[in-house]
Structure 1
Amino acid sequence: MDQMIFHPPFGIHAMRFLNSMLCYSILIPNLAAITTLLRAKREYQTCIGIRHRGV
């Protein structure tokens, strides 16, 4: 198993795969948090806009 990891083509693919998995595991929760933050910000701005209109 260890010898397969150091075989160049497989090793490169494995490293790219692990790298992309790491990126996705970091990125996806952050994307969810960012979208919820943006949605909350938009709702907050519309709430302020309604308040400014005097409704």
Structure 2
Amino acid sequence: MSELLRILKPKGKCYIQTPFKTGDIYEDSDIKTEEQSLLHFGQEDHLRIYSV
């Protein structure tokens, strides 16, 4: 976050997008491979899905 603040122009805006769904945050520490991440989160590099 500090790097984003550093590179923004004064009064600049930064939009950050994360995967989300209704309900609770979903994460599972047993998911360790890219294939498992793709199956559970829809993308190989995600670790969790946040709630709204």
TM-score range, shorter chain: under 0.3
* TM-score (norm. length: structure 1): 0.20
Larger Rg: 1
More strand by share: 2
